[in-house]
Chains A and B, each alone.
Chain A
Amino acid sequence: MENKLDGNAAGGVLGEIFPFEMTAAQITCVGCGATNAIGALAAYMHGMGTVLRCPACDHVLIRIVHANGRYFLDMRGARVLQISEETVQAQ
């Protein structure tokens, strides 16, 4: 609870990488199979990087580090990502 925010807080860094609003995308957890909007994930804005976890089982879905001119993105915790055409076109 202490440093947990909603996935919206990661909207900025996600917006640096993806050219559309990622917080509206739906993501399925490899741990428990729960599907949530990325904006509803538990976001830990750790000073070293961003960690997004499943709100149901805490499994790590997305990790992001931005360092030395590179983005490191680990999405092994996501089984599938669903992005509506509307989301892609709106940006």
Chain B
Amino acid sequence: MGQGFVSRGFHGRRQQQQSTLTNRIPPGQYLERGFPVLSAGPTPHTPLAAWDFTIEGAVNQPKRWTWEEFRALPHEDITVDIHCVTKWSKLDTRWEGVSIDTLLQQVAPTTEARYVIAFSDGGYTTNLPLDEMRGGQAWVVYAYEGQPLAPEHGGPARLLVPHLYFWKSAKWVRGLQLVEQDEPGFWETLGYNNHGDPWKEERYQGD
């Protein structure tokens, strides 16, 4: 019913796509000028004094950083394009944070470590291959566009893994668990693709 129905005169509020940008926008995506907030639960408000970040599991030196310790780590400015599975993409987003490489150096993953489970306040989890978090592909970020990361966008700190759909960039991240066996997370167990490469349109299971 309604197959092929088109609402006369409706265009939505997507931004006109400049032809020079088409090679930066993955298939099925459109350019978004805002920054939509998608939430699956109440926004956590962990006080910085209570915040910590831990890396545990298949590592030789499990480690925990307090907020002060985390902010004292070497950090960098990152400008990347981000792509949400709900089809919006934002180009040239600016972040500041700590590279996962920096963190991994301190914990020394064991040879068994092949996957990562990122876990967040509120219970959210997502899973990634360890190799896709190394080599300058992932960060824990705490500032967006020069300002401290707002709680509705995942502050005080979130994961940033821009080469995968943005649900893998877990908001309110509190740590990583390195494991030998992959463990699908919140959306991955509910029909979404286990990997999530926007350039191959890996949105859902079976894609």
A and B touch in the complex (CB under 8 A): yes
Quick check: A72 and B42 within 8 Å, CB to CB? no
Rounded to whole Å, the gap between the CB of A46 and the closest CB of chain B is: 5
Assembled-state Cα–Cα distance A27/B28 (Å): 38
Per-position binary interface string of chain A over residues 39-53, scored 1 when its CB falls under 8 Å from any chain B CB and 0 otherwise: 000101011110101
Total number of A residues with any Cβ neighbor in B under 8 Å: 21
Chain A residues with Cβ below 8 Å from B191 are: 49, 65, 67-68, 70, 72
Chain B residues with Cβ below 8 Å from A65 are: 187, 190-192
Between-chain CB contacts (< 8 Å), 14 pairs? A3-B37, A44-B41, A47-B36, A48-B38, A48-B167, A49-B187, A49-B190, A51-B40, A53-B42, A65-B190, A67-B191, A67-B203, A68-B205, A72-B191
A residues contacting B by CB (< 8 A) are 1-4, 42, 44, 46-49, 51, 53, 58, 60, 63, 65, 67-68, 70, 72, 74
B residues contacting A by CB (< 8 A) are 36-43, 84-86, 123, 152, 167, 187, 189-192, 203-207
